[in-house]
A = this chain, B = another copy of it.
């Protein structure tokens, strides 16, 4: 029997101003699905894996083909229903309704664990959608660069007076998301040592200019870091090795008078103990092979290694090195394995990101369906004109334009919030209408955003009112974006932190230059960030309450208006 998930085809999205589908909504969904599997975008496109362990764009290749065919055929008052990467139905809706509705990886709570998921996955009944993999708005590593950059910069402000010159960051993982770390560190002015077990990942990051150097021994890597930090140069090295072994080793050397990292974090795929984390002492080949032949052994070895890994992070934290969990749920695994103080160090959201979420600020992104980088350059310039006072944004756009290689369809990300997103969307729509841009623009965001996720070990860790686990919010976000006229909307479970630990929703909307699109853009790009403001206002954050009042939100149960 052939493997329905394997294929040797290379997928490239169509580009340019001519659509093959009946609507730009369906065309955009099709191009973005294909873009998720673009050889320059996806981590393992032949297996349909986009990023984040086994985050897929479609359940099987057959499903991929049927989704594409359905989108091409989809009428302007029809909607395609996708269940865990499989196209289930085409139904009659209306022009203002989404063209695609997606639910991925959702399980009834009592059964919401990797074991049950994997069983269903093996039977061909499910697919892991991660966040933007199964919801077709992954844009490569750029998507995470700015968030990581903001986080490192904020850590620099809090711990090093805003100056990371001569400092270095120790981390693990150079995968789909983790690969952004060295570049973000360099943007923030710091050096970076990233431990990665898979050499091909290191090479890939070097090829895409996210990483500067490769080392095969710790001595070699530390020598580079010593050299760069001494000269005040911001550069990065990928060390071939296992974080569960290297972290404790660096800590031991530090205690013995060796080099001391200035910030410690990690982005191995610890959220998925079977596919995401290579056990200490194993080769990558062994690890991959045993995922099939002896999954139980892989999982228990990986979990034991994570405990070692987190123990070293706690050691750094106790030695006053700023240490943060970067949202891969590794503390939870370590705690489950018996490491009582696994949660000693904080997650990155309560530490650095929540004040932004209170204003609906998060990873807004857009993508040029023309395929022409010139279109993104034009939007970059237009954004600078639209927000002349936002120097932070200007600096980001300049750095991004210079250092970030496009992957697949040209795209841009920038963190903006309520009151700004809809203005950007309307401006892009006008630029499409006027012909200034060569084809429509797709606008979306990560599921890691202010109103779209419940994830008590990450985005909603340590909420002021204790509502970390309340997932009414992302469900309402999805319903509301559907009601507002988004082009596609998705509801996922288990993204980022793995099965059982998160529920989140995605939204994408197309600016095709029509007046109808303008109306939808205005509603969706206002309501979506507003939902983050309510969620945080309801939890009692003053920044969110002020933001709600300032923008005149009507919040009967919160502001009594």
Residues of A within 8 A of B (CB): 63, 66-67, 69-70, 79-81, 83-84, 86-94, 96-98, 101, 103-112, 116, 119-120, 123, 125-126, 454-456, 465-473, 475-476, 478-480, 482-485, 489, 491, 493, 499-503, 519, 523, 526-527, 530-531, 534, 538, 553-558, 560
Contacts and interface: CB of A to CB of B under 8 A. Distances in A.
Given A89-B530, A470-B126, A480-B81, A66 B110 contact: no
Given A88-B557, A108-B455, A101 B467 contact: no
A504 to B, nearest CB: 10
A493 B469 CA distance: 13
Contacts of A519: 94
A104 B93 CA distance: 25
B470 A479 contact: no
A554 B485 CA distance: 23
Contact of A83 (B91, B120, B476, B554): B476
Contact of A89 (B90, B109, B489, B553): B553
A536 to B, nearest CB: 12
Given A91-B484, A475-B103, A66 B111 contact: no
B89 A554 contact: yes
Contacts of A467: 120, 125
A100 to B, nearest CB: 10
A89 B479 CA distance: 13
Contacts of A475: 103, 106, 475, 478, 491
A475 to B, nearest CB: 4
Contacts of A107: 109, 469-471
Contacts of A89: 530-531, 534, 553-556
A469 B557 contact: no
A84 B475 CA distance: 12
Given A88-B534, A91-B530, A556-B69, A120 B81 contact: no
Contact of A106 (B125, B470, B489): B470
B108 A476 contact: no
Given A467-B120, A469-B111, A523-B93, A63 B557 contact: yes
Nearest to A127: B472
Contacts of A69: 556
A482 B485 contact: no
B480 A101 contact: yes
A249 to B, nearest CB: 32
A527 B78 CA distance: 12
Contacts of A108: 454-456, 468-471, 500-503
Given A88-B557, A108-B471, A109-B493, 15 more contacts: A81-B531, A83-B473, A84-B470, A86-B557, A93-B527, A94-B519, A101-B476, A103-B472, A103-B479, A106-B471, A108-B454, A119-B466, A478-B479, A479-B479, A479-B489
Given A87-B556, A479-B479, A538-B88, A465 B501 contact: no
A479 B87 contact: no
Given A89-B530, A482-B479, A66 B556 contact: yes
A500 B470 contact: no
Given A120-B466, A469-B107, A538-B88, A560 B478 contact: no
A560 B65 CA distance: 11
12 contacts: A83-B470, A88-B538, A88-B555, A91-B530, A92-B526, A94-B523, A106-B472, A107-B471, A108-B501, A110-B112, A120-B466, A479-B489
